[in-house]
A and B are shown apart, each in its own frame.
Chain A
Amino acid sequence: MDGLLIGLVYGLAAIGLTLIFGVMDVVNLAHGAIIALGMFFLYLFFGAGLHPYLSLLPVAIVGFFLGVIVYQIAVRRIINGPPLMSLLATFAVSMIIVGIGTALWSTSPYNINFKVVTYTLGGYTVTSARLVSAVAAVLVTFGLYFFLYRTVLGKAVRAVANNREAAELMGIPSQQILAISFGIGTMLAMLSGALIATLFPFTILSGGVYELKSFVASVLGGLGNPTGALLGGIILGLIEGSVAPFIQVSWTNVIEFVIFVLILLFFPTGLFGGRR
């Protein structure tokens, strides 16, 4: 049960990653750092007096604009170049964010302390924080779907993802759409970070763990496929939850990575079919 709930949050993070890949063929290696930023921004807003769940909205807004800025500075120039370049460029952004974060907040753990209610259902104990996070993740995903399939802007995003040149020929300003898409991807990353921050202690380095989980989830669902990413996240969460009682907790990481490598080798388009 816990696995399902946390899996939804993993899924949200993964959607952010997979969306950017789907739209512009870029693997955003700054994903983890941005998740960590989401954690810290929630901490800042909480410190300013806002209830954590209310702070989600400003975090989302910051996440979006941050993504647009990162796109314009780091990604735009090399969007059409070899994939190595965008990998390294986003990685460089990650190093910068983590470096500044370490300078500002050091690497000691931070906590968001607010009232948490525990519920018991059947044999399971669940905290309100996990429930709300899972619900929030689902709501945001629905929001994304609504955006992509029911709005004109969303349609433009899908067009550019499908075939950038054709979209341009149809009069869609692709650079702006790319910037917006990147922004949405980072917004989702920051939101998932903020939700995670309500559950566990964190440092600026915590992003790395969730970035790797996002990769596993995205690849499980097929890179470029948002539904797949969400499902991949759920599967990952369930695997973690179900395998943990039988093996040492520290082996779960190994298993996750082995899955990751195996999927890439044998199901490069994921279990649900990706972009390619």
Chain B
Amino acid sequence: MKKSWLMLLLAAALGLAQAQTVTIGLTVSKTGKYNVESVNQLNGIKLWQDWVNGQGGVQVGGKRYKVELKYYDDESKAQRVQQLYSRLISQDKVDFLISPYSSGLTAKAAIISEQYGKVMVATGAASDSIFKLGYENVFQIYTPASRYLTSTVDMLKAADPALKKIAVVYEDSKFAKAVATAARDYAQKAGFDVVLFEGYPPSTTDFGPIINKIKASGAGALVGGGHYADGATFARQLFEQKAPLKMIALLVAPASDEFAQLGEAALGVAAPSQWEPLVKYSPDFGPTPQEFTEMYRKAYGKTPAYRAAGGFAAGLVLQKAMMEAGSLDGAKVRAALDKMDLTLFFGGIRFSTDPASHGLQLGHEMVQIQWQKKGGQMVKEIVWPLAAKTADLIYPIR
């Protein structure tokens, strides 16, 4: 009899120990212009949650903590983000934060997390400028904007050393502008003539005027774009208006599977990508790229895009930091993040500890993809870096 009571007590004690949770707060753009990408990112985060909870939770010190997510709809609006993150911190009392999707919204959220001293892992945000404001609590997962299109320029130079004139046309948002400016500077240093450098308002639906400008400039290649909605429309109208370009590389949009819906207009369009399912990283921690892709397919019925991968990676980074710190204390987790230097299925992860750029991602690199036709179907192929490619670059595309 005594033994069974003991067993019961032990089970109860274990049960109580199991009931510990760590709460992570974030906002999602369930509506608004970032809707598609943000939900994608959330799927990745949720998949991580299921994966880590399936193992019993995060191992912190001697205990296991189940992960709970708390999130609200930020409607893709800057003004909503700050109110919601304040709420997550002061009212919902979350332990850690993950950023919204997009550099613009993350910049807003970062102010709040910094004001209240809460650790925030920023995924879906590539802008460099967020990390130049002297923050100590924000850590970036993505390759920063300054390194997005630099390898595209390298790829173009390798494919056609004779081409000199390129146009840089970008969405006038924090992220796209930063990428475009860095691309222009890099291209000029590489010997290109940037004949057009112009931004369009984020809500542009009529690219007619700007396409006319591109044609008038005599450019042979175009890099730029912004996010999904404008990028897809831009690509379609470039095709409809028969713009004579030998290479088109746009941000974000062509890296999504949905881009295939454009049909012929998608053929040959390239994009830098934070991650592709076929990459060959060997992780120190967490699932391999194939394992992740399989998990995602099983859960959502589709191949994961890099935003979902970024979401999952954000979760992994927080998890690893908590494990290394052996506690949920903010200062200790922050220190663990400062020291982090490893490879995940997503790529390298190492943060800058220089006060002038604290939190900037230093370890991660971009791959370049291009839409090609294989057996009558539109598929994404990795065309750069040459060591990692799955197909040759099509050049010129038109």
Are A and B direct contacts in the complex by CB distance below 8 Å? yes
- Asked if residues B31 and A108 are in contact (CB atoms below 8 Å), the reply is yes
Given contacts A116-B240, A125-B242, are A248 and B199 in contact (CB under 8 A)? yes
**Most B CB within 10 A of own CB, among A118, A199, A250:** A250
Per-position contact with A for B187-214: 1 when CB-CB < 8 Å, else 0?
Answer: 0000000000011110111101110110
A185-224 at interface with B (beta carbon < 8 Å): 199-202, 206, 209
Chain A, interface residues (CB within 8 Å), range: 20 to 34
- Asked if residues A245 and B213 are in contact (CB atoms below 8 Å), the reply is yes
Q: How many angstroms between the C-alpha atoms of A107 and B76 in the bound complex?
A: 10
- Asked if residues A201 and B205 are in contact (CB atoms below 8 Å), the reply is yes
- Asked if residues A199 and B206 are in contact (CB atoms below 8 Å), the reply is yes
Q: How many angstroms between the C-alpha atoms of A244 and B208 in the bound complex?
A: 10
B150-202 at interface with A (beta carbon < 8 Å): 172, 198-201
Q: How many angstroms between the C-alpha atoms of A252 and B206 in the bound complex?
A: 13
- Asked if residues A240 and B205 are in contact (CB atoms below 8 Å), the reply is no
Name the CB-closest residue of B to A242.
B209
- Asked if residues B31 and A2 are in contact (CB atoms below 8 Å), the reply is no
Q: Which residues of B contact A200 (CB under 8 A)?
A: 205-206, 233
Q: How many angstroms between the C-alpha atoms of A116 and B205 in the bound complex?
A: 17
- Asked if residues B31 and A249 are in contact (CB atoms below 8 Å), the reply is no
- Asked if residues B205 and A108 are in contact (CB atoms below 8 Å), the reply is no
Q: Which residues of A contact B1 (CB under 8 A)?
A: none
Interface assignment of A162: CB less than 8 Å from any CB of chain B? no
- Asked if residues B205 and A249 are in contact (CB atoms below 8 Å), the reply is no
Q: How many angstroms between the C-alpha atoms of A240 and B36 in the bound complex?
A: 31
Q: How many angstroms between the C-alpha atoms of A201 and B75 in the bound complex?
A: 19
Q: How many angstroms between the C-alpha atoms of A140 and B106 in the bound complex?
A: 47
- Asked if residues B32 and A107 are in contact (CB atoms below 8 Å), the reply is yes
Per-position contact with B for A98-135: 1 when CB-CB < 8 Å, else 0?
Answer: 00001000111100000010100000010100000000
- Asked if residues A206 and B33 are in contact (CB atoms below 8 Å), the reply is no
Q: How many angstroms between the C-alpha atoms of A125 and B204 in the bound complex?
A: 20
**Most A CB within 10 A of own CB, among B76, B198, B209:** B209
- Asked if residues B201 and A249 are in contact (CB atoms below 8 Å), the reply is yes
- Chain A nearest CB from B76 CB (Å) reads 8
Q: How many angstroms between the C-alpha atoms of A28 and B25 in the bound complex?
A: 43
Q: Which residues of B contact A6 (CB under 8 A)?
A: 206
Name the CB-closest residue of A to B205.
A200
- Asked if residues A250 and B200 are in contact (CB atoms below 8 Å), the reply is yes
**Most A CB within 10 A of own CB, among B198, B205, B213:** B205
Per-position contact with A for B23-51: 1 when CB-CB < 8 Å, else 0?
Answer: 00000000111011000000000000000
- Asked if residues B33 and A249 are in contact (CB atoms below 8 Å), the reply is no
Given contacts A108-B31, A201-B205, are A249 and B210 in contact (CB under 8 A)? yes
Q: Which residues of A contact B76 (CB under 8 A)?
A: 107
Q: How many angstroms between the C-alpha atoms of A2 and B210 in the bound complex?
A: 12
Q: Which of B35, B75, B213, B240 contacts A127 (CB 8 A)?
A: B240
A71-106 at interface with B (beta carbon < 8 Å): 102, 106
Q: How many angstroms between the C-alpha atoms of A108 and B75 in the bound complex?
A: 11
- Asked if residues B35 and A107 are in contact (CB atoms below 8 Å), the reply is yes
- Asked if residues A108 and B201 are in contact (CB atoms below 8 Å), the reply is no
- Asked if residues A250 and B201 are in contact (CB atoms below 8 Å), the reply is yes
B207-239 at interface with A (beta carbon < 8 Å): 208-210, 212-213, 216, 229, 233
Known: A2-B209, A201-B229. 11 other contacts (CB 8 A): A107-B31, A107-B32, A107-B33, A107-B35, A108-B229, A109-B33, A109-B233, A127-B240, A248-B199, A249-B210, A250-B199
Can you pick out 6 interface pairs between chain A and chain B where the beta carbons lie within 8 Å of each other?
A108-B31, A109-B233, A241-B209, A245-B212, A249-B201, A249-B210
